[in-house]
Amino acid sequence: MDLELLEAVLGRSPGHLAFTPGWLEGYAAETALGYSFPTLVENKTARTDGLVTHGLSDDDVARIAYFEDTEYAPAVFDVATAETEIAAQVFVATTALKSTGELWSFDHWRRHHKPLLVAVTHRVMREHYGLTPMHEIDAHWHRIKAELEAELPKKTRRFVKARAKA
């Protein structure tokens, strides 16, 4: 849902895309165990808000799949919008990714985790997309994240480490 992160994934401005607010009934966005990002968990009484993206090229979809790594896989779901319900491709967690059981907050993620993820994503996509197989990217991802965290100002670095332990 974050356009700056999407730009880092696509390697270009997402200005060619159109977005429609949408939601997925019967699923909650919960924080993934050990990470700052969400995972969808089936919950009959829940609803997860998001954006339906229109105009993605085949390369855009391939780049998104590479970013999502082996921890997420595409699946087709019926997604509601203000006007209609449409079949949309949604990346859902594989069995390798577990939930903390805590609801994930987009606003919290944006305030506390976005800058580092955007920086890591820019570098991973620039240095590895099209070169490093997806199943080998995790080691590079973690190395790049550690390098960029080390460059953060000390105050920010303490906050990032404290959040990682929480």
Q: What is the pTM of this model?
A: 0.86
* Domains of the chain, first to last: 3-165 (3.10.490.10)
Alpha helices (runs of H) in the chain, residue ranges in sequence order: 3-10, 58-68, 106-112, 114-128, 137-151, 154-165
Contact 134, 69 (CB under 8 A): yes
Give the model confidence (pLDDT) of 15-59 as tens digits.
999 999 999 999 999 999 988 999 999 999 999 999 999 999 999
Over the stretch 121-137, which tens digit does the pLDDT of each residue have?
999 999 999 999 988 99
